[in-house]
Structure 1
Amino acid sequence: MTTRLILDCDTGTDDAVAIMAAAGHPELDLVAVTTVNGNVPLENTTDNTLRVLDHVGADVPVYPGAARPLIRPDFPIPREVLNADSPEFQVLQLDLPEATSTAQQTGAVQFLIDTYLGDEGADIVLVATGPLTNLALALGAEPRLAARIPRLVIMGGGHRMGNVTPTAEFNFWVDPEAAEAVLTAGIRDVTIVPLDATHAAELTLADCDRFDAIGTPAALASSAFVRHRIDTALRGDAEAAASTAVHDAVCVAYLVDPEVVTRSGVHPVNVETTGTRTLGEMIVDTRQWTTEPTTARVAFDADAARFADVLADAFRG
């Protein structure tokens, strides 16, 4: 049975792989892509999304969203300062031909409201792989949305690790108020795929060789993006990267094959919005005796081989 989905993303290289997997897999129907400020500024996330879809010949509408966080004027640390140690890892413009398609005039927030308040949204999974600003704005403007979104899958947070600080993952750190608003809104079916799972399912150069052998535009572009991530990963001087996490694509693969996630649990989840050292931290209450209401299923581990298999199937499509 085909799963319909909307991708809400901040298109850099890992979002690009997720888009191509969603557009190409025979068990998925990519209804639309909404863009948000994150890995790169909004104008670049939107342009990159259009480039990716044009590259694989996918006629999917793109709706531009929020250009800044929900409350804050900018990231907690400006992007150019944050990326100073590895500016080549997250490029502004993906190395793909210039897009010929254009974005929709309707904004992402209004599109999400219209879609999920209408009957056509009743079976559409929302997959959010960037900061959660668009969804938080939509929920703030139309609280009924929480009862109308049938399923939400989020790439964000880290249970036992961070990547932008010792405790915080990038998407939640960029807009912690948006993440907390979404996770406490009462959406009935929420799955979070944090760094713990995405780093357990890293792709290797052998996976890139496999994609190259498939030879489709999606496979070749994905191989190039994964190789770039491996080549530019921030590691110690004596340590070469042998693999890389392609975080956002794990969420897409999970829709096709739930056994990509090998260990998970349903828990109360919150996001820290005020801590000086813990801003953006995802707090998962795993206490057996907790009295807090559960809010999300959290993935703690994943299967790299199954993840690569789903991508290969998508790229053949």
Structure 2
Amino acid sequence: MTRLVLDCDTGTDDAIAIFVAALHPELELMAVSTVNGNVALENTTENTLRVLDLIGAKVPVHAGASRPLVRPDFPIPRDILNAGNPEFQVAYLDLPPSRTPVHETPAVRMLIDTFMDPANADIVLVATGPLTNVALALAAEPRLARKISRLVLMGGAHLGGNVTATAEFNFWVDPEAARAVFSSDIGEIVVMPLDATHSAPLILADCDAFDRLGTPAATACSRFLRHRIEQYHQEGDTPSAPVHDALCIAYLVREDVITAWGHYPVSIETAGEQTLGQMVVDTRPWATARVNAAIAYKASVDIFRDVLMTAFKATG
């Protein structure tokens, strides 16, 4: 069993990641913390509770940061950023309202207490949203970085962003937090950037396969994936969509889901006029900066699909 703590900003792809983390027989989800990102903190928290309640998972949910580390808001506020397509990230997931209350311990305190405990040295931290909570925890407890043995995160892009030409959403939302995390002494940082997640998209046939399973998680995943495909589909292409955040969870079960890697010095741009939030990967053989991250470039959609199917069958 791999034990993990998940820090997320629950929209549809985080929801699928939570289902897999909570249900896969080789994983034990210890806690979930929420952060402002895809939607506002109150929504990411409620969405997380809804996902866990749907499958009856008794996992504590801890609310975290409601704004970026040093900025008052996104570089472009969410309502302006999403004005052209407000349905891309719905405020509340199409699930029954939660019955379980949020845990009284704030996210940053939970992260510190969890990873400073020697009994939890094996726990993996997975972050699938902006890195605000993680950066705040590292700042509050200077010893914390050396206690986190592995951080697996979804963020960044080596070639081409999604919110700007160069930046992926999570790092763009809070570039200062991302820079603080990559500048820390965390033992191992594993990055699932857009390059990897877009290389393993799911299609409508996968939705049909999930529907045939008929379990609560599979049915909800099918509905979320159909929505994502509708939003991502461009005329002339096979209808498909990446499920970014779930790839982090699949990697914990099957490391061979990643088929191409690189280990490089990585930094995050915090001031560029056109490059704010860009993940800068120094691939030069003679680079002198510290190699601080493993970057996934390609993934196997077959292995990814198998991990999801195994998790969703476990609900029956």
TM-score interval w.r.t. the shorter chain?
over 0.9
1:218-237 correspondence runs (5 A): 218-233=217-232, 235=234
Alignment-derived partner of residue 70 in structure 1: 69
Identity %: 62
Map Cα deviations across residues 59-81 of structure 1 (whole Å, 9 max, x no partner).
Answer: 00000000000000000000011
1:286 lines up with 2:301 in the alignment: no
Map Cα deviations across residues 208-250 of structure 1 (whole Å, 9 max, x no partner).
Answer: 1111111110100001000011112264xx4466100110000
SS in 1 for 2:152: strand
Alignment-derived partner of residue 193 in structure 1: 192
Q: Give 1:121 deviation, angstroms.
A: 2.1
Alignment-derived partner of residue 89 in structure 1: 88
Alignment-derived partner of residue 141 in structure 1: 140
Mapped to 2, the partners of 1:25 and 1:130 lie a distance apart of 21
Contact 1:204 1:242 in 2 (8 A): yes
Contact 1:8 1:128 in 2 (8 A): yes
Map Cα deviations across residues 51-104 of structure 1 (whole Å, 9 max, x no partner).
Answer: 000001100000000000000000000001111121111000000001100101
Alignment-derived partner of residue 297 in structure 1: 294
Mapped to 2, the partners of 1:304 and 1:168 lie a distance apart of 24
SS in 1 for 2:125: strand
Mapped to 2, the partners of 1:121 and 1:136 lie a distance apart of 19
1:1-317 correspondence runs (5 A): 2-233=1-232, 235=234, 238-239=235-236, 242-317=239-314
Q: Give 1:313 deviation, angstroms.
A: 0.4
Amino acid at match of 2:27: L
**Runs of 4+ in structure 1 displaced over 3 angstroms?**
238-241
Q: Give 1:120 deviation, angstroms.
A: 3.0
Amino acid at match of 1:257: R
Mapped to 2, the partners of 1:244 and 1:153 lie a distance apart of 21
SS in 2 for 1:8: strand
How large is the Cα RMSD of the aligned pairs?
0.9
Mapped to 1, the partners of 2:43 and 2:5 lie a distance apart of 19
Contact 1:233 1:241 in 2 (8 A): no
Mapped to 2, the partners of 1:102 and 1:120 lie a distance apart of 27
Unaligned runs of 5+ in 1: none
Q: Give 1:45 deviation, angstroms.
A: 0.2
Q: Give 1:289 deviation, angstroms.
A: 1.1
SS in 2 for 1:247: coil
Query: TM-score, normalised on structure 1?
Result: 0.98
Aligned residues, how many?
314
Unaligned runs of 5+ in 2: none
Mapped to 2, the partners of 1:93 and 1:136 lie a distance apart of 26
Contact 2:233 2:240 in 1 (8 A): no
Mapped to 2, the partners of 1:63 and 1:89 lie a distance apart of 25
Map Cα deviations across residues 6-63 of structure 1 (whole Å, 9 max, x no partner).
Answer: 0100000000000000011000000000000000000000000000000011000000
Q: 1:85 to 1:234 in 2, by over 3 A?
A: farther
Contact 1:268 1:285 in 2 (8 A): yes
Query: TM-score, normalised on structure 2?
Result: 0.98
SS in 1 for 2:198: helix
